[in-house]
Structure 1
Amino acid sequence: MSGELRLDHAVASGTFSLDGETFDVDNNLWVLGDDDECVVIDAPHSVDAILDLVAGRTVKAILLTHAHDDHCRVAPELRERVVAPIFLHPDDKPLWELTHTDYLWDLDLPDGWELEVAGTRVQTLHTPGHAPGGCCFHVEDLGAVFTGDTLFQGGPGATGRSYSDRPQLEESIRAKLFALPDDTVVHTGHGDDTTIGAERAASADW
């Protein structure tokens, strides 16, 4: 036996740049798997910080929620270090190319696509709005969804910059995320966890 499914978490600090502005940000790092294999969700600022969570396990995939630089900056370097493919929704190609001009990701993330890791299914939910190719990853066995910058504790992600659309983001959340059970834990790209139920209840104030 390789051990039970577990989620490892850390926070990495760096910058986010878009539309000619740069901000300091703290990003959540998420690694899901068992004692033998895992997937990495987003690759923001520090390869070494991610490798500390991987802890020598086989990485099956690098799953990107979207291609803002604070979520994908070290993905190509991480790919080389762990020899694992990068997955990204193709609608985020314009954002990817703002950060990576010499590399592409490896495989596209279609809506509904599933990956198995440690005997557990990770399902892709395409949730455009914060970014055109924004995706969330639902792990039913864990009772959790990884939302990147689509949904935070307190509401939807930001939509004030290029390639974002607030009405589209709200529709994505209502159609895809609010279809999940209320007790589903929301693991975000920045900040604290929340639940689908809490955010559904608060959505009347959007």
Structure 2
Amino acid sequence: MRVDHVVTSGTFSLDGGTWEVENNVWIVGDDREVVVIDPAHDADEILGGIGDRAVRAILCTHAHDDHISAAEDLANATDARVYLHPADEVLWRMVYPDAEFDPLHEGDTFTVGGGTLVVMHTPGHAPGAVCFHAPDLGVVFTGDTLFAGGPGATGRSYSDFDTIIDSITERLLALPPETVVHTGHGDSTTIGAEAPHRQEWITRGS
């Protein structure tokens, strides 16, 4: 089991604004099979990172449009199912009024490449935000819940600062400090590098 990585470029739109963004797309598995985390912007670029491997699932950390914009095209190209927490359906419908997804919930597991991903519901950035913990690799995929430098943004619709702080504190900071944090945008970090700054985030966000 290993982690491969593609960066795709596009836009994020919500609440009447649009911003240019680059997204991390994580491809987790081995030489035979993978899952794809956060199918952003460009299905062809993601397919190039997958190669000839079978896609067992398409996993979404949340349903902001930049994280799901290639989901339907990637699903059609691979015959893989798209999984999302149902609390984010309102955001999903902004992009896909008619397309369906399979629900995922706290504690669900996905097995691929000889390892396991465990779903952790971490609302705050979005109501259905989740992280995927890969204990076999010592890695957690946090989407936009936790970045190098602090929590994800909570200034737009369907987000809440106190909730994201609770999610990070109760779920993510409880992981071993050496756990590598692979984020939805930008550089990776570790739980140990971020944990000492929790009070700073609270002060900054209050």
TM-score band by shorter chain is over 0.9
Q: Which runs of 5+ in 2 are unaligned?
A: 202-206
In structure 1, give the amino acid aligned to 2:82. I
* Of 99, 104, 125, the match for 1:130: 125
* Of 161, 164, 170, the match for 1:169: 164
Residue 49 of structure 1, CA deviation: 1.1
Residues in 2 aligned to 1:67 and 1:16: alpha-carbon distance in whole angstroms: 11
Once the two structures are superposed, residues 138-181 of structure 1 have per-residue CA deviations (whole angstroms, 9 ceiling, x without a partner) of 00111100000000000000000000000000000011101100
Partner of 1:152: 147
Partner of 2:21: 25
Residue 202 of structure 1, CA deviation: 1.4
Q: Which runs of 5+ in 1 are unaligned?
A: none
Residues in 2 aligned to 1:155 and 1:109: alpha-carbon distance in whole angstroms: 25
TM-score where L is the length of structure 2: 0.96
Residues in 2 aligned to 1:46 and 1:40: alpha-carbon distance in whole angstroms: 13
Indicate whether 1:76 and 2:76 are aligned. Answer: no
What SS class does the counterpart of residue 121 from structure 1 fall into?
strand
Residue 6 of structure 1, CA deviation: 1.6
Partner of 2:12: 16
Once the two structures are superposed, residues 47-102 of structure 1 have per-residue CA deviations (whole angstroms, 9 ceiling, x without a partner) of 01110111110000000000000000110111000000000000000000111112
Partner of 2:52: 56
Partner of 1:120: 115
Residue 204 of structure 1, CA deviation: 2.1
Instruction: Tell me the matched-pair count.
Output: 201
Map 1:161-200; keep pairs closer than 5 Å: 161-200=156-195
Indicate the percent of aligned positions where both proteins have the same amino acid.
55
What SS class does the counterpart of residue 39 from structure 2 fall into?
coil
Partner of 1:93: 89
Residues in 2 aligned to 1:78 and 1:157: alpha-carbon distance in whole angstroms: 26
* Of 131, 136, 147, the match for 1:141: 136
In structure 2, give the amino acid aligned to 1:163. Y
TM-score where L is the length of structure 1: 0.96
**Superposed CA RMSD:** 0.6
